[in-house]
Structure 1
């Protein structure tokens, strides 16, 4: 690790230089403003927390045009965001979850106001009433309600105020896109305040076209409503009630077509799509793929001050219902049609007691979760099933359910044992009880495509039972954190930490006869600096080394998937964040990350490709073409185009070697009002989509820009914006399977204008 050692030595030299700098008085007009975070379950200055955190305030989100969690990678280097059908997949410093099936826990957990979001589909939402977002890097195995190996995305929404205010906007963009946003807050009575946030977006015209049935594809419609009520019962007592509802419907992120160098099982190739105008976004399917997901929930947070102690209890419910219909083979042939109905519900309760007095800050608590995840049902329809059953059936139907009960006790204490020097010790012990029940059937008679509708529909046709599966397993694991930090004057803090995180074992609801995947663990060492230079530049830098074991991975096997513990991995690298107030109305911010990442021992990986060596058996009655792929580590063909191979030494999936982003903001007086402009750039060096490292997303850059003029008195504003300015074509997801290599394009260029009001 010579490069990492060089970076860390350079960091140490930088620490000495910054510590020797003289203090400068802060200029309130041009100085860096403090950012308060709650990463350690208490309000602290970002620069005093011994954790690598990327904090993105609401103003920065608005300036850079970040409108949903899918856009976060454009502001947080080291965070890669992809999609698997309805699920948003976060990969942070190389740690992520392959696949997005119901019941799977994300390696990078998402929390909204301290409430854990159980569904990976629930991680996809608009950022319409946000105070700030905190992305915590590294394992969070002590203070957070669900252990997360990779990190946590904490979304903190606005707090209701007694004084009435209203912000609303309405906009129109290309592709016949309507977008509206509303946030209102005010007092209802003495000590009682409420707010309401509504976001609506309807892209009525798709990026592409389904050439078979003649309809638009790659479009979506979203609505989300959130509300809070804050009751300040007494000087030290308050109760916050919150509720939300959201719905996403459309074909965006689910309309597959072939990728370069590949052909589909019917002979369709990538060139056929790119030869005609905007064909990059087109598809050829016998039906329009669709996602229809509803998410809802509520919480009650009670806080009571008791002198040096604070008692907090958060009771929450989360639920989701979804329907997906995916054309897995991406052809007009009915080979693999996958309609499924998924449901999730979860109750959680977290009790915390915090202490803050003199040199000691501490928190202890207990977390409980009762969750149910199910497919009602999961189906595979078409020739893939007919081929595997000798024509006896054309449909596999699985009703599967996983129930989880989780218990955890945790505690963390920070002790300032010398002036400016703190020792932090934390621990957590988690018990997860998993139960699986599933009923499997073969079906006769493919339902009419029009019979597939939204949530609540049931499959028709005749079903013949295959069998019933019942399994249960309990997973127990201690996790911990040790950190030492020292404050070298007001401008520099240096820290070092060692921590462990784990992700619980889990069942695969799409293949319920499989044994559960075992827990994965991550041991992480990190050193970092947090510095402020001349009160105008904030620079935070961290170097880290990860030992990642028992990695949970999805692998394609014919028409189904298998969840296994794939391998170990070693990851090391550096990342940084900075913000600079340049003067004359200009400010600059950005972040970057460099990673070295490799799988360790990974002798048996499943590799899929359609073009294959001669002699491989045909798949579902189709004989693919013969290609020239050479995989000397592969043997034992499973299905047509699928082999056992070694992936030892390969790079991790969804993980770029380098990522960087930069945002330039400017503010100037104009016509009695304010003109604010922003230009942002995000670069990604590219990443592999699967463990075989066969197909790679090439490097890409994304440019966004917007201009906002605010009228005198700030009562109204006019905004113009453009996202993906250069219309860069890149993929949102890619699947390798025996019917071909298929991808889903990410959004192309979008632009528009909006008018906003403020009272």
Structure 2
């Protein structure tokens, strides 16, 4: 399988310098309100990658787009599932946070925003909980690749994930789903919408998920480990006060808890971790039977998070001009605890509590004429985090941090960000079917952190301080696109993205010498691509090639049981993507998507070099990693799927099979610790009654029960800690619409 996968990847590169625009798992004649109105052939998905509604094939940006029906047919239930159907996507679970890595670019840094941002109905979601986003009342999702700063309020260096939810003015009724799966997993979703008057409608969407049995076992007491529970609700009120003025008010709440990302499990290609608390602190190898097992004495090991907020969107049309105001406020509380010694002896723990709140305000004006479309806006972002942690506890603390017996060593900080930005983008039709796009943005962002430590008579007295820094950066986008025919679009673009700098929240001393500022990262992204619908829209082929030049790439590392972030001086990513969808007949659809990445640190003089010692402990020192591949950037990744629809007298049967391959990754910048390649097979069978109101879905993910890691963390001295991905899961879902 590995050789076949590499051959496919090489042929992708030879076909050449590709692009993904619509990594569609399936497509069918339009049955969704967001599908373009075509009588035959492959349906378009309407996207808003340029902040206006366009068919995805008409957008000169690489976009992976899915309708609600495609999500259901493919069995995509949360944002985590995107990794199975969009090549080049990797999710790095770290407690409640699951930021997206896209085309080899991403970060999991505390204190910084993700490189790939998430928006729900145009509202920025700031807390990096993408992996837990449930697809409960979704109308469509789209993943735009590359820097997106000249049209979105918040800067995005890697891409933007947009989730569009249903409008209660367009559909009223009740939709209920109940599911049961192995690991004693009970799930449910509900969506209800009703008109309150001719111009006002409201809805409520809720979800519940409870995986009661764990994937693995805590060897300390035999209890289940890697369980998960999450629930939440979201409500939307929409008022179309007249033909030109719409008010949308949204509120949501969610609660999630689990252990994924904080348990100290071995990596898939390792047999042990290092138990630093064993043998009176001397430590020894701790062998674990599977990648899902741990051996922890602390029952608090795990994480929990609460998040909620509200948003008010005002939309007014004056002639051809649309005025938009988006105001949002969000709060989150997150707690996690790691039994950091790695073993059953109560020696060393680490926990952290975050209380965060974010306010955003965006004003935008946009318009379109026969030959010119434009958008311009102002954006304000305010964030404040009160952090207690890391908190180091246990007997080892008095030796590591010189604390009195029984006293924890505590790092406390308050981190604030104030950001102002102005942006504008315009598209001109300079010749018939030839457009030039110019965009610009200017950002001013001030970061301030105040922190101190307590508990150590040696370290704490000199720890307190306040640090400030202001970052000012322009960004831009230049693009040209040409339609050779109504169904063939070619484009080329150059854009610059920017992710502001920040201060480490994990520091022991809050001054500019011992806690230097993390410099802003900047990327120049070059891309060419072609989007084509062929054979009377029964074949879609999209290709792209891209080159990213990064400076000051922000990278998170784990040294001496602490998390810190450093700048890699420079990095380069070259890649190619292909996306093929074929619909030879109305009820049969094939798709294939592939990504090839060639990544390299051009300069990284102080990269962490990890080494396993004979006794099993992991050590680290600084060494130059220039010339090495980027972490979490697979060279090859691809997915292939097929969907067949069988229409019978008792209802419609939709059968979907998906095959997903990801080549090996590197967990460290020196490429010594490998995350092995993996192949996943998924099957989904959905029956829908002839009236479209009742459905039953049988599904299985990871059919071959492959044990694999979505990512790993190099944690000194514990070793290569695996973040396990789900084993084989299967279940049934019942749906009913009233």
Paired position in structure 2 for 1:165: 173
Paired position in structure 1 for 2:288: 273
1:382-429, CA deviations, whole angstroms, 9 ceiling, x for partnerless residues? 355322235646522011111111000000010001110000000000
Q: TM-score, normalised by structure 1?
A: 0.88
In structure 2, the CA distance between the partners of 1:391 and 1:291, relative to structure 1 (3 Å rule), is closer
1:574-631, CA deviations, whole angstroms, 9 ceiling, x for partnerless residues? 012222212162111231100100111212222233416xxxxxxxxxxx458xxxxx
Question: Of the candidates 718, 724, 735, which is equivalent to residue 745 of structure 1?
Answer: 724
Q: Would you say 1:491 and 2:495 are equivalent positions?
A: no
Contact 2:240–2:247 (8 Å) recurs in 1: yes
- C-alpha deviation, 1:123, in angstroms: 5.4
Question: Of the candidates 400, 412, 434, which is equivalent to residue 413 of structure 2?
Answer: 400
Q: How does 1:123-272 map to 2 (within 5 A)?
A: 124-161=132-169, 163-259=171-267, 260=270, 262-264=272-274, 265=276, 266=278, 269=285, 272=287
Contact 2:498–2:521 (8 Å) recurs in 1: yes
Determine the C-alpha separation between the residues in 2 that align with 1:318 and 1:72. Answer: 25
Contact 1:253–1:732 (8 Å) recurs in 2: no
Determine the C-alpha separation between the residues in 2 that align with 1:4 and 1:669. Answer: 36
Paired position in structure 1 for 2:26: none
- C-alpha deviation, 1:192, in angstroms: 0.4
Determine the C-alpha separation between the residues in 2 that align with 1:588 and 1:400. Answer: 52
Q: Would you say 1:31 and 2:41 are equivalent positions?
A: yes
Question: Of the candidates 709, 713, 717, which is equivalent to residue 731 of structure 1?
Answer: 709
Q: How does 1:606-625 map to 2 (within 5 A)?
A: 606-611=608-613, 624=615
Q: How does 1:84-483 map to 2 (within 5 A)?
A: 84-97=94-107, 99-101=108-110, 103-121=111-129, 124-161=132-169, 163-259=171-267, 260=270, 262-264=272-274, 265=276, 266=278, 269=285, 272-274=287-289, 279-288=290-299, 289-390=301-402, 392=404, 395-442=408-455, 467-483=463-479
Gapped runs of 5+ residues in structure 2?
A: 1-7, 20-35
Secondary structure at the aligned position of 1:63 is classed as helix
Gapped runs of 5+ residues in structure 1?
A: 15-25, 445-462, 613-623, 627-639
Q: Would you say 1:523 and 2:541 are equivalent positions?
A: no
Contact 2:250–2:311 (8 Å) recurs in 1: yes
In structure 2, the CA distance between the partners of 1:9 and 1:210, relative to structure 1 (3 Å rule), is closer
Determine the C-alpha separation between the residues in 1 that align with 2:60 and 2:540. Answer: 15
Determine the C-alpha separation between the residues in 2 that align with 1:715 and 1:474. Answer: 56
In structure 2, the CA distance between the partners of 1:546 and 1:90, relative to structure 1 (3 Å rule), is same
Determine the C-alpha separation between the residues in 2 that align with 1:368 and 1:27. Answer: 37
1:640-668, CA deviations, whole angstroms, 9 ceiling, x for partnerless residues? 72222221111101110011012211111
Q: TM-score, normalised by structure 2?
A: 0.90
- C-alpha deviation, 1:336, in angstroms: 3.5
Q: How does 1:47-58 map to 2 (within 5 A)?
A: 47-58=57-68
Contact 2:17–2:544 (8 Å) recurs in 1: no
Determine the C-alpha separation between the residues in 1 that align with 2:189 and 2:297. Answer: 36
1:407-455, CA deviations, whole angstroms, 9 ceiling, x for partnerless residues? 00000010001110000000000000111011211169xxxxxxxxxxx
1:172-218, CA deviations, whole angstroms, 9 ceiling, x for partnerless residues? 11111101011121211110011111110101111111111331110
Question: Of the candidates 708, 711, 714, which is equivalent to residue 686 of structure 2?
Answer: 708
Secondary structure at the aligned position of 1:566 is classed as strand
Q: How does 1:537-576 map to 2 (within 5 A)?
A: 537-576=539-578
Question: Of the candidates 721, 731, 750, which is equivalent to residue 699 of structure 2?
Answer: 721
Greater shift after overlay, 253-262 or 369-378? Answer: 253-262
In structure 2, the CA distance between the partners of 1:364 and 1:7, relative to structure 1 (3 Å rule), is same
Paired position in structure 1 for 2:5: none
Contact 2:285–2:616 (8 Å) recurs in 1: no
In structure 2, the CA distance between the partners of 1:376 and 1:301, relative to structure 1 (3 Å rule), is same
Contact 2:79–2:130 (8 Å) recurs in 1: no
Greater shift after overlay, 526-535 or 389-398? Answer: 389-398
In structure 2, the CA distance between the partners of 1:566 and 1:409, relative to structure 1 (3 Å rule), is same
Determine the C-alpha separation between the residues in 2 that align with 1:700 and 1:222. Answer: 28
Contact 1:30–1:581 (8 Å) recurs in 2: no
1:716-754, CA deviations, whole angstroms, 9 ceiling, x for partnerless residues? 122111111111101133222222222232111111112
Paired position in structure 2 for 1:680: 658
Question: Of the candidates 593, 600, 605, which is equivalent to residue 602 of structure 2?
Answer: 600
In structure 2, the CA distance between the partners of 1:328 and 1:537, relative to structure 1 (3 Å rule), is farther
Determine the C-alpha separation between the residues in 2 that align with 1:585 and 1:680. Answer: 17
Determine the C-alpha separation between the residues in 2 that align with 1:11 and 1:605. Answer: 33
Contact 2:452–2:463 (8 Å) recurs in 1: yes
Determine the C-alpha separation between the residues in 1 that align with 2:372 and 2:581. Answer: 31
Secondary structure at the aligned position of 2:398 is classed as helix
Contact 1:88–1:100 (8 Å) recurs in 2: no
Q: CA RMSD in A?
A: 2.4
